[in-house]
A and B are shown apart, each in its own frame.
Chain A
Amino acid sequence: MKFVDEFRDPELGAAVSAEILAAVDPGRHYKLMEVCGGHTHSIYKYGIDDLLPDQVELVHGPGCPVCVIPMGRVDDGIAIAQNSEVILTCFGDMMRIPGSNGTFTDAKAAGADVRMVYSPLDALRIAKQNPDRVVVFFAIGFETTAPSTALTLRRAKAEGVENFLCICNHVTIVPPLRALLESPDLRLDGFIGPGHVSTIVGVRPFEFIPADYGRPLVTAGFEPLDILYAIQMILAQLAEGRCEVENQYKRVVPYEGNQAALEVLSEVFELRPHFEWRGLGFISQSALRLSDAYADFDAELRYSVPNVRVADPKACQCGEVLKGVIKPWECKVFGTACTPEHAIGTCMVSPEGACAAYYNYGRYARERPQAAETLA
């Protein structure tokens, strides 16, 4: 398939790996954060970690929307689902994210009508098929997913569908990155920028990272060669004393983003004053809610929700993992009490979560195999 096979070529991978090795200063340690959970997944799936010299450390960022959702929001969704007229719809991974009294799957087992959907459009279809029920879509995701919700709400409004509501948990990527850069816990040398978020917002919103914090960022695609090229580009910037935003994923990402998407986002949503992020706490203007023009579709205005902040389980260290302070296997319960089958923390539930990705693909193997072997 175009743009897939050529970005999984093992020979090219070995060549870029050699370029990375050549760009590394042997006396320096490089800490690079991949912002996006999709990158974390690709890194483990293709063994990219094993193609890098020891001096280059990849740190996993907060870019998995399922992983950063706090338990209180799950409780709010379950409270809405418990209304007898409601059909709660959500993406697959949300079904197993624990709230303080269980998951959406548990709520479904207890009698609530909770259904998994592939897209907001599917949720709207369920609403049209069930005019005597109220279909609530539990919306999550970064700027990649938010336009899909926005377009569906615009469609519902245009078609006069009155039994379709949304509980909006969409978040934005720039505020948590700024919070991470302000954090004293973490010293980073550069960022692998989120590819598909950038398809929507463009590359320009990330210019503050080199300008204000002196760190390079390279927006990257999700194939193994995309990620290797991005690492090579960051290291080249550091070696040459440059510090700027570059776009490795030009085949998909326009520098200025997608104007149609930005327009529908500003029509349907507005920024929340603050929003709680798992592991990162409350961050100002980091999430979206429905605008006044779409207030009739806001499930939080229609139904009462607990809206309570719930502390994470004490044993769980998802917060430190999400901030990149510890590696997944350094968590006390990783692979023992917390596994994908019986997850305590969100990072183990979502395949994009660092813990699940490491558990599924890396598990306990700590030794690095010979470079280039794992790409094929």
Chain B
Amino acid sequence: MTDPGGCADAHCITCGDVAEPMRVLKIDAVRALALCEDAGGSHQSIEIALVAPVEPGDELLVHAGTAIACTERRALAEAEVVG
């Protein structure tokens, strides 16, 4: 994360009801975590138990290191393009 304290942009993303969009890069199936990238290009291991299954390319809303919603599924987006 660009701000490990969680208060980037004078805005605390952990203690408020705020979530940050992140893109899934890689799944760690053994630990049930996903390596994700935020808009600034920083990487973080994210808990994905609440939105599983996800796959690389999916976009998640992340709050306090846990994905609370999947806002874009890559497979669906690709299906729309093909369709």
A contact residues vs B (CB 8 Å cutoff): 1-4, 36-39, 41, 45, 63-66, 91-95, 116-122, 140-142, 144-145, 147-148, 151-152, 194-197, 199-200, 222, 251-252, 258, 260-261, 264, 350-352, 360
Contacts and interface: CB of A to CB of B under 8 A. Distances in A.
Q: Which DSSP category, helix, strand, loop or mixed, fits chain B's interface?
A: loop
Contact of B18 (A119, A151, A196): A196
A148 B65 contact: yes
A117 B7 CA distance: 11
Interface string B15-35: 111110100000000000000
20 contacts: A36-B16, A38-B16, A64-B15, A91-B5, A93-B14, A95-B5, A119-B47, A119-B65, A121-B65, A144-B63, A148-B47, A148-B64, A148-B66, A194-B17, A196-B61, A252-B61, A258-B50, A260-B50, A352-B12, A352-B16
Contact of B17 (A3, A45, A116, A144): A144
A63 B18 CA distance: 11
Contacts of A140: 15
B75 interface: no
A165 B59 CA distance: 32
Nearest to B7: A92
Interface of B: 1, 3-7, 10-12, 14-19, 21, 39, 44-45, 47, 49-50, 52, 59, 61, 63-66, 68-69, 71-72
Given A92-B12, A195-B17, A258-B50, A116 B4 contact: yes
A147 B66 contact: yes
Contacts of A261: 50, 68
B12 A121 contact: no
Contacts of A148: 47, 63-66
B5 to A, nearest CB: 3
Nearest to B6: A92
B17 A63 contact: yes
Given A147-B50, A222-B18, 8 more contacts: A64-B15, A91-B6, A91-B64, A121-B47, A144-B64, A148-B66, A260-B49, A352-B18
B16 A350 contact: yes
Given A92-B14, A121-B65, A3 B49 contact: no
Contacts of B71: 2-3, 251-252
Q: Which 3 A-B pairs have the closest CB atoms?
A: A119-B65, A92-B5, A352-B16
Nearest to A41: B11
Contacts of A121: 45, 47, 65-66
Contacts of A117: 4
A65 B45 CA distance: 25
Given A2-B71, A2-B72, A258-B50, A65 B65 contact: no
Nearest to A258: B50
A2 B15 CA distance: 24
B19 A196 contact: yes
Given A118-B64, A145-B63, A351 B6 contact: no
A248 B60 CA distance: 19
Contacts of A36: 16-17
